[in-house]
């Protein structure tokens, strides 16, 4: 009896890594679901621009603070030196030399202010541009939110996830707008201060408290002699010292006080 012949087909093995590379096809989302997810995504415009914040705007604020610190430092120097002039026998010549050096520092501060005002105005312009973008985004978001609320009032279906996202976005945008408006106002004030600095530098860097106190002492001391004209007499004496010695009012008062103390001691 003839043997039965069985033909077997060899099964081709597919490499494992090839099987793993086959992409898994997910069911396609509906247009409504996709639109809802896109609109519900946290707005990128809400995050302040780090580049702007870290560079131009930060430099403007830091530069202004540094300049004000220099002005305050000059006032401290004046305070310390005036006390030294009151307590020690420092010559008028030395006073004038020291004050001349400080006038150089004042000129440097004025130059820095002139350069800094450009940065402040540039930072203000950047913030105003950012403010405009955020404001536009805010109004668009408010319109979208109010549209959903209106539809909801008509019992029309409204995606609650989208509504909640818009409410959060509007709240964040309002806060950001308020912060930018505040910073713009601060920069405007800084620009004004810097523009006025050249004519205010001496008053801002001078220390007057000690001289004012000594003036009151002189007024009380000479009040009996000059009576109601004591202020007039003191002012004339102070102005004469300022012109003849070439020193500021504060130092003229201290010099008169020193001479008065020396006369009383002798």
What is the dihedral sign for C-alpha 163, 166, 172, 173?
A: negative
Instruction: Return the structure tokens found at 139.
Output: 């109004």
Question: Which letter does DSSP use for residue 88 in this model?
Answer: S
- Listed range (7-11, 83-87, 147-151) with the worst mean pLDDT: 7-11
Closest CA relative to residue 184, chosen from 136, 264, 128, 107: 128
Distance, CA of 226 to chain centre: 51
Average pLDDT over all residues of the chain: 84
Backbone phi, psi, residue 10, to 5°: -70, 125
Closest CA relative to residue 198, chosen from 102, 84, 106: 106
Rounded CA gap, 55 and 14, in Å? 57
**CA 179, 71, 186 angle in degrees (round to 5)?**
15
Tell me what percent of the residues of the chain surpass a pLDDT of 70: 79
How many other CB atoms are there within 10 angstroms of residue 197's CB atom?
20
| Interacting residues of 234 by C-beta distance below 8 A, sequence separation 6+ | 215, 218, 219, 222, 256
Rounded CA gap, 227 and 253, in Å? 19
The reply to whether the predicted model has a pTM over 0.85 is no
Residue 226 has pLDDT above 90, yes or no: no
In SS3 terms, 155-213 reads as CCCCCHHHHHHHHHHHHHHHHHHHHHHHHHHHHHHHHHHHHHHHHHHHHHHCCCHHHHH
Task: Tell me the domain boundaries of the chain.
Answer: 44-132+181-206, 208-266
Q: Output the pLDDT for position 143.
A: 96
pLDDT higher at 248 or 222: 248
Q: What are the pLDDT digits (tens) for 85-98?
A: 999 999 999 999 99
Instruction: Return the structure tokens found at 68.
Output: 């004000």
Rounded CA gap, 161 and 42, in Å? 12
């Amino acid at each position: 009896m003839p043997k039965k012949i069985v033909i077997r087909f060899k099964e081709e093995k597919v490499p494992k890594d090839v099987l793993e590379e086959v992409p898994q096809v997910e069911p396609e989302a509906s247009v409504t679901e996709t639109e809802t997810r896109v609109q519900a995504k946290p707005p990128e415009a809400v995050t302040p621009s780090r580049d702007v914040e870290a560079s131009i705007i930060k430099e403007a604020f830091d530069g202004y603070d540094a300049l004000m610190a220099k002005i305050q430092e000059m006032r401290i120097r004046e305070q310390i030196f005036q006390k030294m002039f009151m307590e020690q026998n420092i010559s008028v010549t030395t006073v004038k030399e020291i004050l001349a050096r400080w006038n150089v520092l004042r000129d440097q501060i004025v130059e820095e202010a002139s350069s800094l005002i450009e940065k402040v105005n540039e930072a203000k312009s950047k913030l105003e541009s950012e403010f405009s973008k955020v404001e536009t985004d805010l109004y668009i978001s408010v319109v979208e939110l109010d549209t959903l609320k209106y539809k909801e009032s008509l019992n029309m279906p409204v995606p609650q996830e989208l509504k909640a996202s818009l409410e959060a976005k509007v709240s964040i945008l309002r806060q950001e707008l308020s912060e930018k408006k505040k910073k713009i106002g601060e920069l405007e004030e800084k620009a004004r201060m810097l523009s006025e600095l050249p004519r205010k530098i001496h008053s801002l860097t001078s220390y007057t408290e000690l001289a004012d106190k000594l003036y009151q002492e002189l007024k009380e001391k000479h009040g009996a002699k000059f009576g109601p004209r004591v202020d007039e007499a003191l002012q004339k004496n102070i102005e004469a010292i300022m012109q003849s010695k070439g020193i500021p009012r504060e130092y003229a008062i201290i010099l008169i006080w020193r001479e008065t103390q020396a006369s009383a001691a002798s």
